[in-house]
Amino acid sequence: MSCSNQNPFYGEWETPFQAPPFAEIKTEHYLPALKHGLELESTEIAAIINNPAKPDFANTIEAYEARGRFLDRVENVFWNITGTDATDELDGIDTEYSQLKASHLDDILLNDQLFQRIEQVYQEVDRNNLTVEQASLLEKIYGDFVRNGARLGKTEKQELRKINERLAILTLEFSQNVRRANQTWEMVLENSDLAGLNDRIIKAAAKTAKELDKPGKFVFTLDKPSWIPFLQNSTRRDLREKIYKGYINRCNHDDDLDNKARINEIVNLRIRKAHLLGYETWADYILERSMAKTPEQAYNLVNRLWQPALARAKRELAEYQALIDAEEGKFKLQSWDWWYYAEQVRQANYDLEEDDLRPYFAVDKVIQGAFDVANKLYGITFTPRNDIPKYYPEVKVFEVREADGTHLGLFYADYHPRSGKSVGAWSSGFRSQSNRNGNWVTPVVINVGNFTAATDDAPALLSIGEVETLFHELGHGLHSLLRNRVYTDQIMPRDFVELPSQVMENWATEPAVLKEYAHHYQTGEPIPDELIDKLAAARLHNQGFAITEYLAAAIMDLDWHTLTEVAERDPIAFENRTFDRIGLMPEIISRYRSPYYKHVFSGGYSAGYYSYIWAQVLDADAFKAFKDTDLFNQELAAKMRKYILGLSGTYDAAEIYRQFRGRDPEIEPLLRKRGLVEQEG
């Protein structure tokens, strides 16, 4: 049997819905298949260039968009697995392939002959004969080439190639270092160190210790389900400081995992690339295709929110410091104290503890609750499938169907931490939806999280924040599942793409929805009205902190990427200057410090972390339409499915929102939702 016949990527997948045959895919299969994919795509590009027929939309634009299907299939599996189950061997393959891929992309985007054909179509095609989606695709592809240097001279193209190749390596190394730093840090405790921690937290730490071959000990890690409950509950201030500093100092220890030098080089390379391409800053380059359009517009939004958020945070600080003083603590609150005293005040003011809620949020019930919301809005169903291959035993797979039973796609749910898994939560896919030439391809979607795991005597019981994150990621998943497009190659503005996810969070805590899915894991009783009322009353608790730490990170991102000059900078000193300029209080640390800021230095959000708050303006305004009428208003849901989920990327994002809402978004619903204006009543 030839090597190609042994490699599952080379043949058809005889699995239900052509899902990836994970049991057959071995580490040694990836690199040969990835290289073969590059070769196939190069052959497809050559065929477009050498086509003797006059360039037209079909033989050039559509042919270009349809290229690389084999490579897509391999990359989608490979990059998802490196995110969920990385190994040193996979990291090595990723490093080698990233260099090959960067060079390969430049071979395409800087190819003069290919660009000449595309430009000829762009200049000569009769747009009256194109559909809206075809016209959008033409603009997108032509813009891709121009924005990636197709018009540069030979010398400039060579410089751009070097920049792109180096950026590919640096951003990958940055991400790998953050993952390794997260996994190598641990705090090993004895029984005497557990003051203030409840039984659930202690059992989880004991389970982690057992898994790390430290029986009889209690291990806390930098995974959110571990460090956040510790900060909220431990009365050991010294240990709170230790774990918090462990978190905020990742990749900032002047060792092999330190990212400061990489940050400086990434930023300088981005400045050079922006200048080569005719932009003043990297942010100007990136935001050209966003809803914000310019750095000034992004700054305008975050600056409008900054002072109200900071003022609220200062009121929270005064409240927490008063509690310390009342307890005769005789110390000034520090950043590692904030979580603890915020929890104490929540318990005192609202009679609500995090662990009062958790028993009602068993992960399987929350998943079903999120599915039920999707069903009520869009009529779709999620059916467990045990006959479909999984890449990890704990993963759950669901078939998604229309109300009439038509197959829509597959949905993989992977929600708990493990070794080799990147931190955070995200939505991705093993296959994207398309409908080229009437050939409907159904999507295969994946949601990943790092939520609280089960203990030996209880299922996985989520925090309210984890519940909202699960709904958030399903919103992204629904966006992928319910798209209705011919082509996969579309412009998806970063500050619009968070709308489908963030708007889904709103349903998670609506009383009527909670009653449907939040049932006690032992008794089966629905969450009582008393707890729902307490949750609603505490809705704005600690919002000053939450918004301030986020905005600080968003502003820091914009500051990094509106630099105009290449220079050697100390990343810590740079971000501290940002925080001093905006008046960030020392008791609050930015949600991300530069050395582990994956969103902007390796995750595709450079100059775009502001987009979460931009999308919150949209989501608060959009959800208000439901609140003002009916949580499951079918007319609104149909519009959301058609425009927000189905057509995004095909039409202008602002126009899509206007089609849904009937007008432009208003900011007031967000200001009220986040407690940044006086509440009515």
The catalytic residues are 473
Residue 92 CB coordination number (10 Å): 12
Cβ contact 221:180 at 8 Å: no
Q: Which residues of 176-199 are buried (b: 16+ CB within 10 A; e: fewer)?
A: bbbbbbbbebbbebeeebbeebee
Classify residue 681 by burial, with Cβ atoms within 10 Å: 0-12, 13-18, 19+. exposed
Cβ contact 328:604 at 8 Å: no
Closest to 31 (Cα-Cα) out of 71, 83, 1, 65: 71
User: 434-438, long-range: CB within 8 Å, 24+ apart, which pairs?
Assistant: 434/485, 434/486, 434/487, 434/488, 435/484, 435/485, 435/486, 436/62, 436/66, 436/486, 436/487
User: How many helices (H) and strands (E) are present in the chain, helices listed first?
Assistant: 29, 9
DSSP secondary structure of 336-352: HHHHHHHHHHHHHHH--
Closest to 175 (Cα-Cα) out of 667, 670, 607, 595: 595
Q: Encoding tokens for residue 65?
A: 């968009």
As a whole number of angstroms, the distance between CA 555 and CA 224 comes to 24
Q: Encoding tokens for residue 495?
A: 């500050």
Residue owning tokens 């004969």 = 129
Backbone angles phi, psi at 218, to 5 degrees: -135, 115
Q: Encoding tokens for residue 233?
A: 């509950």
Residue owning tokens 């931190």 = 423
Compute the half-sphere exposure of residue 613: CA atoms within 13 Å on the CB side of its CA: 27
Residue type at 359 in one-letter notation: P
User: 87-93, long-range: CB within 8 Å, 24+ apart, which pairs?
Assistant: 87/27, 87/420, 89/27, 90/27, 90/30, 91/176, 93/27, 93/30, 93/31, 93/34
As a whole number of angstroms, the distance between CA 604 and CA 590 comes to 19
Q: Percentages helix, strand, coil for the chain, rounded to the nearest 5?
A: 60, 5, 35
Cβ contact 320:333 at 8 Å: yes
Closest to 301 (Cα-Cα) out of 613, 652, 608, 664: 613
As a whole number of angstroms, the distance between CA 385 and CA 390 comes to 10
Classify residue 506 by burial, with Cβ atoms within 10 Å: 0-12, 13-18, 19+. buried
Cβ contact 482:447 at 8 Å: no
Closest to 602 (Cα-Cα) out of 41, 82, 146, 255: 82
Residue owning tokens 């609280």 = 452
Decide: helix, strand or coil at residue 585.
Answer: coil
Residue type at 196 in one-letter notation: G
Q: Encoding tokens for residue 660?
A: 């849904």
> How many Å is the Cα radius of gyration of the chain?
25
